[in-house]
A and B are shown apart, each in its own frame.
Chain A
Amino acid sequence: MSEHDTGSWDAFTPRDGDTGTSEAFTPRDGDTGTWDAFTPVNRAEPAPAALAPAPAETRRPLRRAVRGLALAVAAVAVTGAAVGVQWQDRQRWIADRYPAEVVKDVAHGASATLHGMSWQVVTVVPRQVEGGGESGTAPLRATVQVTPVSAQAIGGYLTPDFAMRDRAGHSWQALPVDTPIPSDLKPGRATRFDVETAVPGSLSGTAELVLSYAPGETLRFAR
């Protein structure tokens, strides 16, 4: 008897002498479950498959956690991509509008050619200012020499912008005086003019003159 058998089975318990083959208990052909209900459990039969393997109970929350994590990662990735595309587009817009400056350094006393003109800073010396100028400043005068390389370059000549700079990123106004016009220039002939400026007194010997037509067309003359 199975351990599940209970007292209710006693009514069918064979008595002494009974072999259990009594016809009363022998299922006939065609008899089905009706009799199965009374068939004792055969312990030899394989045990029914275990209900849902134990790990399944823990796998389900694990699967949900993995799925949630994947969703979170995907959301972050999509958001990052959306922001990144806009950021990249904006960076391109800024780069187009504010191109990075390209500075060509010119050694002390040397010349450099830009737009068909050879440029050289001859001297940078202190200058006298009415009233002595602003307190703490050093008024300077730079003498600049320009030599047209060709007649063609003279036709498109424009006075460049000038400034004084230090290597820490500061700049100061520098104004050219009596600048030449194209009719003053001859191919191969040097023409000089002055650039007036003022820098902090502590930088009077180190600030450099910078000549520029555009951020990408800039010459910096070493002192």
Chain B
Amino acid sequence: MSQGPATAPVREEPARSPWRRAGSALVALAVGAAAVYAHTFVMNKDQLDAPLTTTAAPGAVAETGRFSVRLDDVVAASSLSLITTGTDPDTGGTTIENSTAIRTHDLFVVATVSATSPKDPTWLPDAWLRTRDGIEYAATDRTGQAFTPPRPVQNGWWTSLEYVFEVPREAVAGASIVVSAPSTNGIYDDIYPGRYDQLLPEARLALTADDAAARRLLQDVKPSWRVTARG
């Protein structure tokens, strides 16, 4: 009778069960599917171009990263008297260089806002009146270039800006004044229009506190309102 040399028994890996293999395959499939699904979490063009909006009630300050703005006054008028002023070289006094009247069958909404900047000079030439249901009216060009805010808003003080809109009466209730800083992408705007205008700051200022205030505004439409620009 003979016996071989004593050897340590080898502990074999237990065979993986088919259920375990199927479970692993299922997990791998789920991870792959999740990865593919994650690629659908992308913004479309409208979402990419959407501004960063800050809202504020009438008289309250809306602070964006590049400027702060508040709505000081709103007037509704059926006609505007556009006055361009100058300086008398002899006396140094203010003179009226030009006066023009414009009328509308709808409504002129003259919004006076104050704005400042936290850091660098910022131009705010563009504004819109956005109705409750999302329709936008650009500031009217009927007033001419002289009445477009010519100065930048700067750090340290508040600058008064006037925007004039020509809108139907029914647009007033629930509307907002939207002020936006232009893109700073320079030449890229001409090469790829809109492509780099992402995350632009936008302030949305409620035109009136509520519908009752909107009704009061419409009941107090001025037959003529004077708007002044420096020549």
Our pick among B6, B120, B157, B159 for the contact of A49 (Cβ within 8 Å) is B6
> Which positions 52-102 of chain B face chain A at CB distance < 8 Å?
87, 92, 94
Judge if A105 is at the interface, Cβ distance under 8 Å: no
Tell me, yes or no, whether A135 is within 8 Å of chain B by CB.
yes
Q: With A39-B1, A49-B6 given, is the CB distance from A200 to B121 under 8 Å?
A: no
Chain B residue numbers with a CB within 8 Å of A171 are 119-121, 155
Is B92 a contact of A172 with CB atoms below 8 Å? no
CA distance in complex: A52, B1 (Å): 27
> Smallest Cβ distance from A177 to chain B, in angstroms?
16
Provide the residues of chain A in CB contact with B155, threshold 8 Å.
Answer: 170-172, 200
Q: Which residues of A lie under 8 Å from residue B6 when comparing CB positions?
A: 46, 48-49
A164-219: which have CB < 8 Å to B? 169-173, 198-200, 203
Asked if B9 is at the interface of the complex by the 8 Å CB criterion, the answer is: yes
In the complex, A136 Cα to B116 Cα: how many Å?
Answer: 13
User: Do residues A170 and B156 form an inter-chain contact, with CB atoms below 8 A?
Assistant: yes
Chain A's closest residue to B188 (CB) is A97
Q: Let me know if A51 is at the binding interface, CB within 8 A.
A: yes
A130 touching B157, Cβ below 8 Å: no
Q: A49-B6, A130-B92 are in contact. Are A173 and B152 (CB under 8 A)?
A: yes
Q: Is the CB of A173 within 8 A of B7?
A: no
What class of interface size applies to chain B in its complex with A?
A: 10 to 19
A-side contacts of B1, CB under 8 Å: 27, 32, 36, 39
Bound Cα distance from A137 to B152, whole angstroms: 14
Residues of B within 8 A of A130 (CB): 87, 92, 94
State A32–B156 Cα separation when bound (angstroms): 109
Interface size on A, residues (CB 8 A): 28
A59-88 interface code vs B (CB 8 A; 1 in, 0 out): 000000000000000000000000000000
- For B157, the chain A residues whose CB sits under 8 A away are 134-137, 200
Chain A residues, Cβ within 8 Å of B7: 49
- Asked if A56 is at the interface of the complex by the 8 Å CB criterion, the answer is yes
* Majority secondary structure of chain B interface residues (helix, strand, loop or mixed): loop
Cβ distance A3 to chain B, nearest Cβ, rounded Å? 21
Q: Determine how close the nearest CB of chain B comes to the CB of A145; give it in whole angstroms.
A: 25
Q: B residues 137-183 with Cβ under 8 Å of A?
A: 151-152, 154-157, 159
Closest B residue to A133 by beta carbon equals B157
Interfacial chain A residues near B159, Cβ < 8 Å: 134
CB distance from B10 to the nearest CB of A (A): 9
Chain B residue contacts of A50, Cβ below 8 A: 8
Q: In this complex, what residue of B is CB-closest to A50?
A: B8
Query: In the complex, what distance in Å separates the CA atom of A32 from the CA atom of B151?
Result: 114
What's the nearest-Cβ distance from chain A to residue B154, in Å? 5
Residues facing B in A23-55 (CB within 8 A) are 27, 32, 36, 39, 46, 48-53
Chain B residue with minimal CB distance to A166? Answer: B155
- From A39, A52, A170, A199, B11 is in contact (CB under 8 Å) with A52
Closest A residue to B7 by beta carbon equals A49
What's the least CB distance linking A141 to chain B, in Å?
A: 17
Rounded to whole Å, the gap between the CB of A24 and the closest CB of chain B is 18
Residues of A within 8 A of B121 (CB): 163, 171-173
Bound state CA distance, A19 and B92, in angstroms?
A: 148
Some 13 contacts from A to B, beta carbons below 8 A apart, are A36-B1, A50-B8, A52-B8, A53-B8, A56-B11, A130-B94, A171-B121, A171-B155, A172-B121, A172-B156, A173-B151, A200-B156, A200-B157
A interface vs B, CB < 8 Å? Answer: 27, 32, 36, 39, 46, 48-53, 56, 130-131, 134-137, 163, 169-173, 198-200, 203
Top-7 shortest CB links A-B: A200-B156, A173-B121, A170-B155, A136-B157, A49-B6, A49-B8, A52-B11
